[in-house]
Amino acid sequence: MLPAGLEERDFAELCIFPLPNVTLFPGAALPLHVFEPRYRELVRRVLGERKIMAVARLKPGFEASYEGRPPVFDVCGVGVIESYDERRDGRYDLTLRGLSRARIVTELPPELSYRRVRAEPVPEPTVAPALTAAWQLKLRELWTELAPHLPEPARDLRELTRDADGVSAYTDRLAAALVADPDKGQALLSEPDPGERLRLLTARVQELVDALSPSPRGVAKERALN
């Protein structure tokens, strides 16, 4: 079964926007400023079709060949353009809403200025309800200690995960709000098992809570953002 809002043709020829330190999780809203000519062309095409595009993270060392087609991580985030504004000079400001994970199967021939891939949705295994409940209980207990040290929008766990339909959406909401480190974000995006993502996020929150005791409050807050 395909993720809601997506069709097979979206994965057969998927336009990707490669970025060095950005991860698009399903359900998350990602603001983007598009100024390079090749990606302005990409956005024009996407807007003329189904408004579907992907954000793929560039692998380390991309700088030497950035103008070309440097390697990207296999798992990327697929989203839909929710809103956009085209400036007079052709640049775009847009908001991309994550819909799904995708695994890049192959990159299509470089016939256009921007990059296109053939991809496939990332299937997710079923998670035992008892395991999910146990990790969520632990997470809620830890959150009461961590919340006062988080930015205001992330303090209310219930509000942060409101309308999250199932454990997969629940973990993606938390990852998008809590994990700023690009490598950790990519690891969570690449993990197909929602139960394992929940375990990793709970372990991350435990680390942050443990850091509160010996560390000054300001340092702990800074760590919470990374």
pTM of the model: 0.88
d(CA 74, CA 14): 13
**Is residue 2 in a domain?**
no
Residue 13: inside a domain, yes or no?
yes
Q: Are residues 154 and 76 in the same domain?
A: no
Full residue range of the structural domain in which residue 139 is found:
129-224
Is 3 within a domain? no
Q: Which of 69, 99, 121 is the last residue of a domain?
A: 121
In this structure, the dihedral spanned by the alpha carbons of residues 125, 164, 202 and 132, taken in order and rounded to 10 degrees, is -50
In terms of domains, do 115 and 133 share one?
A: no
Residues 47, 113, single domain; the answer is: yes
- The answer to whether position 182 is within a domain reads yes
pLDDT at residue 3 greater than cutoff 90: no
Do residues 12 and 116 share a domain?
yes
- 192 shares a domain with 92: no
Same domain, yes or no, for 142 and 201? yes
The model's pLDDT over 133-167, given as tens digits with 9 standing for 90+, comes to: 999 999 999 999 999 988 887 889 999 898 888 99
Angle subtended at Cα 126 by Cα 209 and Cα 136, rounded to the nearest 5 degrees: 25
Tell me the average pLDDT across 167-191: 94
* Count of structural domains within the chain: 2
Q: Give the separation between CA 112 and CA 143, rounded to whole angstroms.
A: 47
| One domain for residues 140 and 60 | no
Q: What is the band of 225 on the pLDDT scale with cuts at 50, 70, 90? A: very low
Among the residue ranges 10-24, 101-115, 147-161, the one predicted with the least confidence is 147-161
Cβ proximity of 192 and 120 under 8 Å: no
pLDDT tens digits along 35-64: 999 999 999 999 999 999 999 999 998 888
Judge whether residue 21 has pLDDT over 80: yes
- The CATH number of the domain where 33 resides is what? 2.30.130.40
